[in-house]
Chain A
Amino acid sequence: MNTTVANTGTEGKTWGGGNRPMGASYGKLMMWFFIVSDALTFSGFLAAYGFSRFKFIEEWPIADEVFTHVPFFHGNYPMIYVAFMTFILIMSSVTMVLAVDAGHHMNKAKVTLYMFLTIIGGAIFVGSQAWEWATFIQGDYGAVQTKGGNILQFGEYVSVDGEEKFKRISIDDFAITEASARTEHERKNGLWFVEEAPLPDYTVGEIYNGLAANPNILVRNQIINEEGEKTVLSREESLRQIKENGKLVVKGANLVVNEYGTSLFADFFFFITGFHGFHVFSGVVINIIIFFNVILGTYERRGSYEMVEKVGLYWHFVDLVWVFVFTFFYLV
């Protein structure tokens, strides 16, 4: 009994759906339909990112200063880890296309091996993205948010190889803590129907005292100057800004505030990489299903490995989207 997916009993009937003007099977064509619509969804997100970035063109965070971490290594390595993630995804795309190729030769053992490697690559990528998120949420140096919603960061000038460079300083290193009367509101000792988020580690007053006590520390605002760097304020202006405008101490990032700059930056980061990560995750799940079908010999009996080709299309599309996310989030 021949149960190839493509057979619908209409072969040869021109008006019954029996011919293939585009030379592709129904399933492949539908996958292309989906890919085009999904590509439009992603470009909608990226174009919206572009909109917000153009709106705040002079104060958008510089990606090189935000994504600087590599697991198990201390120090400042911008781009390295995302480049690694990109390479992993391209590599898993390659094993996928090798699986498709082995499928064309009806080589079950090779399809199994390459599908397995693809799944591993996808899992490494999703894990890396989870780590990237965790690092982003946890934060780096901390900052103070002003009444107007702008972010003020801290640092000092140090000379590296005879060149004056602005080096960021963590708020943990200079804030002078003091006993505070304000405690976190909890349901059990206050209004039972009101909740409060955990209080920030420091108050703006504690940051100000620390800043006043360390004459080397300066404040830097969001505005990008002629050299393409954030503007560093003078000592008097630094103190004045924190005293008059400081409102909230921010560490890390969430959907409301982030220490890196414009809060929209974090929103788009979570939304776009999250949506892409969800695609990778579902791709891994689909790949696992197909992997087991391959092992069980489903496609061997069917006489065609076209199913591998179809998930392959989806998997390459996920890689394709990442190429663009990589460019617009990390490079440009």
Chain B
Amino acid sequence: MAHAHKLEIFRGLWKFKSNTQKIWGVLAFLTFVTAIEVVLGIYKPEALMHTWLTPFEGGFFATLGNIILSPFIYMKPLNLIFILLTIVKAYYITWDFMHMRDEKSSLRRAVVWTAVFLICYLIFILLQEGGYVYDVYNTDNALIKRDF
């Protein structure tokens, strides 16, 4: 059969002799990542529970900095780590289990770029609005009262 598999992961750092071996290697890696997530989720290290940066104050450049560095300013490092590890897991599931690694680059891009672009857009819109609604509920002169 003309099914050529690329038998290396981590950009060639880890090479395998057969496709079956590669599958077990990826399983070991995914299990390792999940284990890290679970351990972090249970113990919640104190150092990762508070943001490392505070929002910049000032004019245009401060706002720009807040936007560019928003994952470090507004998100707990622990949650950032969780999201990054999730994307890592998603990459290896798609690339090695769904054989994206062996597909043509046109198919790969058609699937991944479309989804990633639309999902980023959706997340941006909805989270932005969610934050706004929070402000509407919680300003000093909010018209809606919920603390009873």
The residues of A with any CB-CB pair to B shorter than 8 Å are: 21-24, 29, 32, 35-36, 39-40, 43-44, 47-48, 50-58, 64, 78-80, 83, 86-87, 90-91, 93-94, 96-98, 100-101, 104-106, 146-150, 228, 245, 309, 312-313, 316-317, 319-320, 323-324, 326-327, 330-332
If over half of B's interface residues share one DSSP class (helix, strand or loop), that class is named, otherwise mixed; here it is helix
Minimum distance in angstroms from B81 CB to a CB of chain A:
9
Q: Does B148 contact A (CB under 8 A)?
A: yes
The residues of B with any CB-CB pair to A shorter than 8 Å are: 1, 3, 19-20, 23-24, 27, 30-31, 34-35, 37-38, 41-42, 49, 79, 82-83, 85-86, 89-90, 93-94, 96-99, 103-104, 106-107, 110-111, 114-115, 118-119, 122-123, 125-127, 129-131, 133-134, 137-138, 145-148
B27 touches A55 (CB 8 A): no
Residues of B within 8 A of A36 (CB): 111, 114-115
A319 touches B37 (CB 8 A): no
Residues of A within 8 A of B1 (CB): 104-106
B93 touches A101 (CB 8 A): no
B90 touches A147 (CB 8 A): no
Q: Which of B49, B85, B125 contacts A228 (CB 8 A)?
A: B49
Known contacts A83-B35, A101-B19; can you find 10 more A-B pairs with CB under 8 A?
A24-B103, A40-B115, A40-B119, A43-B118, A43-B119, A50-B126, A83-B34, A98-B20, A326-B86, A331-B82
Nearest B-chain residue to A33, judged by Cβ: B111
Minimum distance in angstroms from A329 CB to a CB of chain B:
11
Interface contacts (Cβ under 8 Å), in number, total 151
Residues of A within 8 A of B118 (CB): 40, 43
CA distance A332 to B131 in the complex (A): 17
Q: Which of B79, B89, B106 contacts A332 (CB 8 A)?
A: B79
A79 touches B107 (CB 8 A): no
Minimum distance in angstroms from A160 CB to a CB of chain B:
16
Residues of A within 8 A of B42 (CB): 64, 78-79
A39 touches B119 (CB 8 A): yes
A320 touches B94 (CB 8 A): yes
A146 touches B148 (CB 8 A): yes
Known: A146-B148, A150-B147, A327-B86. A90 touches B30 (CB 8 A): yes
Minimum distance in angstroms from B112 CB to a CB of chain A:
9
CA distance A52 to B122 in the complex (A): 14
CA distance A255 to B113 in the complex (A): 36
